Amino acid sequence: MTKADPDNDLLPGLREGEESALGHLMDRHLKTVTAIGYYMLDDASLAEDVAQTTFLKLWQQAPKWESGQATILTWMRRVATNDCLDRLRKKGPIYSDHVPDQADTTKTALEELEKSDTIDAVRRALSSLPDTQRAAITLSYYQHLSQKEGAAILGQSVKAYESLLSRARKNLRAALSPWVERETI
Amino acid sequence: MSNLNNLLDQVKSPEPSDLLKARILQQAKAQRSSKTAIKSESFKAANDNHWKRWAGLAAMAVILGVVGVNTLSPVETSPAEVWAETAQTMGYEDLYAWVEGDSAENNEGGTEIEVGNL
């Protein structure tokens, strides 16, 4: 039995080309879809491009949308992930436009520096992962999807997805070993 | 594992910019109007005169071709026929036939002409 799509209420409006329906859908999911782009591409501006492409694709496909298949959000996650994978394949390494956050005056400079170093290290470690491993971490960890859902989005069997995720975690642990060990002590 | 999760937790995706939603809605609107424009393009507008330029050129080429062929084609009428027609118009066809027939005889058989009392 398939779960009812919580966005079904917006479907008639989307089919009719009502911009208000698209606006409501963005209120619900724009952040989620943009986050996929951000964790996959490590670039806020490119992440917004991914979100734009995804919502506009949905807008085009809405008149042909069949209820009872994948939910709207699952479909958008798949489109966004594939878009990111395409961009990564086409462009090779993507350079980040990340600007370090302003120092928080409530913390000591050393703490802030350590935190900033850690964040940079995690971002570098994520960026160094093979594309599909990065996608698996994004979907399972940052999007909180089950392995079944993640596997469906990447078009893989659950077993293959589990293996992908396991390799991704192993690689991340290796890349972040100084921080992982420090926390263990 | 939880250590790794704690580390991953530290990277937070930024909020989408305020303009993103407006940008997407604007694009969606533009897509819808361009879709309508594509639909209407499939019907030829009554004032679409793009084809007329080519039709005019084609017509010009056909006219020039016909005129050129007519001008350059060789005239099939021989001088003898023209003279015969002229003689017929003027009422001397018998005389012309006699002269022509006589000269033809001279050329072919070489018989002597009987001039009579001339």
Residue A138 within any structural domain of the chain: yes
E strand or H helix at B91:
none
How far does the CA of residue A1 sit from the closest CA of chain B (Å)? Answer: 33
Rounded CA-CA distance B58/A13 in Å is: 51
Rounded CA-CA distance B8/B12 in Å is: 9
Residue B26 vs residue A2, higher pLDDT: B26
Token pair, residue A104, equals: 């928080």
Residue B97 within any structural domain of the chain: yes
Chain B partners within 8 Å of A134 (Cβ)? none
Residue B83 within any structural domain of the chain: yes
Contact A41, A50 (CB under 8 A): yes
ipTM of the predicted assembly exceeds 0.90: no
Nearest to B16 among A48, A59, A172 (CB): A48
**Structure confidence at residue A23 as a pLDDT band (50, 70, 90):** very high
Q: Report which residue type is found at A20.
A: S
Question: pLDDT tens digits, residue range A148-162?
Answer: 999 999 999 999 999
Assess B5–A contact: CB distance below 8 Å, yes or no.
Answer: yes
CATH of the domain at A62: 1.10.1740.10
**Structure confidence at residue B23 as a pLDDT band (50, 70, 90):** very high
CA distances from B31 to A5, A55, B42, B62 (A): 26, 12, 17, 44
Chain B partners within 8 Å of A30 (Cβ)? 16, 20-21
Say yes or no: A11 and A80 in one domain. Answer: yes
Contact criterion met (CB < 8 Å) for A176 and B4: yes
Which residue segment(s) compose the domain that B105 sits in?
A: 79-109
Token pair, residue A163, equals: 């293996």
- Residue range A166-181: mean pLDDT, rounded: 89
Q: What is the dihedral of CA B1, B4, B6, B11, to 10 degrees?
A: -150
Q: Count of CB atoms within 10 A of residue A85's CB?
A: 16
Which residue segment(s) compose the domain that A107 sits in?
A: 100-185
Residue B101 within any structural domain of the chain: yes
Assess A17–B contact: CB distance below 8 Å, yes or no.
Answer: yes
Question: pLDDT tens digits, residue range A87-116?
Answer: 999 876 555 454 444 445 555 666 666 777
For the whole model, what pTM was predicted? Answer: 0.65
Q: Look at the block and give the residue holding tokens 């036939």.
A: B97
Residue A166 within any structural domain of the chain: yes
Residue A2 within any structural domain of the chain: no
Rounded CA-CA distance A29/A79 in Å is: 13
Closest to A17 measured CA to CA, from B28, B20, B27: B28
CA distances from B71 to A37, A76, B63, B75, B77 (A): 75, 73, 12, 10, 15
CA A76-A7-A19 angle, 5° bins: 80
Instruction: Choose one of A99, A126, A151: the last residue of a domain.
Output: A99
CA distances from A176 to A79, A113, A146, A169, B5 (A): 30, 17, 24, 10, 11
**Is pLDDT at B21 greater than 80 in this prediction?**
yes
Say yes or no: A71 and A123 in one domain. Answer: no
Assess B3–A contact: CB distance below 8 Å, yes or no.
Answer: yes
**Is pLDDT at B3 greater than 90 in this prediction?**
no
Residue B90 within any structural domain of the chain: yes
Residue A106 within any structural domain of the chain: yes
Q: Report which residue type is found at B98.
A: W
Instruction: Choose one of A64, A99, A134: the last residue of a domain.
Output: A99
Residue A1 within any structural domain of the chain: no
Residue A124 within any structural domain of the chain: yes
Say yes or no: A76 and A107 in one domain. Answer: no
Contact A129, A172 (CB under 8 A): yes
**Is pLDDT at B98 greater than 60 in this prediction?**
yes
Residue B91 within any structural domain of the chain: yes
Question: pLDDT tens digits, residue range A46-76?
Answer: 999 999 999 999 999 998 888 777 899 999 9
Residue A110 within any structural domain of the chain: yes
Contact criterion met (CB < 8 Å) for B32 and A17: yes
Number of domains in chain B: 1
Instruction: Choose one of A58, A77, A99: the last residue of a domain.
Output: A99
**Three-state secondary-structure class, residue A59:** helix
Say yes or no: A42 and A11 in one domain. Answer: yes
**Three-state secondary-structure class, residue A122:** helix
